[in-house]
Amino acid sequence: MSNPIIIGNWKMNGLINETKHIVSTLLTYTKKHQNFAKTILCPPFTQLQLVKEMIKNSPLGLGAQDCHYANKGAHTGDISPAILQDIGVNYVILGHSERRKDHHESNQLVLKKTVAAQNNGLLPIVCIGETQQERNANNQESIVEVQLKGSLPEQFDGLVAYEPIWAIGTGLTANNEQITEMIQFIRKKLVAQYGENGKKISILYGGSVKPDNVKDIYAIPELSGVLVGGVSIIPKDFIKLIDIAQEFIRS
C-alpha cells in the first residue's frame, strides 16, 4: 500500500495517566519526524477531550469507538455523533465485532449509526469480519457481503475495516493471501454498490497487527491501512508501526 493510515482502537483502556503517557510518547515522535503515516487515536469517550487538548497543533487525528444514531435525547449512557462532533472528533468506529457481540448490534443498527455519523461530519470506520466458525465453513464471503449490504448506507463517505473475529486479540493474524482475497472481494462489492466511488473507499485490516507482521500487511497493495487494538496502547510498539510505515509513504 502507499500512504498507510494507522488507527489505534484503545478499546476499554486508558486511565488518565496512561492516556497522558501514550499521547505524550507519540507527540515526542511526531515532533521529530516531518512526514509520517496518517495516525488516528480512538481512546474511550471519557479521554477524548484530554487527547483532543494534547494533540492540538499536531498531525495526530482523533476518533471515537462508537456513537448513537440520534443526535440527542433520552438515551441514558449513550453518546451522540453531535456530541462527538462538538468536541472535535473526526472519526468514529462503528459496528466493531465486540459491539456486535457484547451489545447485540445488528447491521441495521450499524447502518443507522453510520448515517448519523456522516450527517454530523464524522468519518465512519465500519467494521466487518467473520468468526472462526464461519471461516471454517468457508462462509467468510457471504458473511462479509451481508454485513456490507446491511451496514453501509446508499451514500457512503467513510472507511471499511476488515477484521476477522478469529484474529482479534488472539495473536492469530490472517495471512497475506487471506487478507488479499477478502480485500479484493470487499472492493468488488463496494464497486458493485457505489460504482467509481467504490474504488476510492479505504479498506483497512485489523486483527493482531504487531510490529513483527505489519510490514507484510503494509505490502498488500489493495489495503489502505490498519486498525490496531492491543498494540495501540503500547506506545513503543505503536510507534514501530508508524516507523515501519515510513517506507510506504509516497509524496
Name the site residues for ligand 13P (rule: CB under 6 A): 9, 96, 163, 168-169, 206-209, 227-231
How far is 209 from 128, CA to CA, in rounded Å?
Answer: 16
Q: How far is the CB of 227 from ligand 13P (least distance, A)?
A: 5
SS3 content of the chain, % helix, strand, coil (to 5): 50, 15, 40
The smaller minimum CB distance to ligand 13P, of residues 70 and 202, is found at 202
The smaller minimum CB distance to ligand 13P, of residues 75 and 95, is found at 95
Active site residue 96: yes
Torsion of CA 19, 23, 28, 30, to 10 degrees: 170
**Contact status, residue 171 vs residue 208, Cβ threshold 8 Å:** yes
Choosing from 68, 96, 105, 130, the catalytic residue is 96
Phi, psi (deg, nearest 5) at residue 195: 60, -140
Nearest residue by C-beta to ligand 13P? 229
Active site residue 141: no
The smaller minimum CB distance to ligand 13P, of residues 119 and 213, is found at 213
Question: What residues act catalytically?
Answer: 96, 163
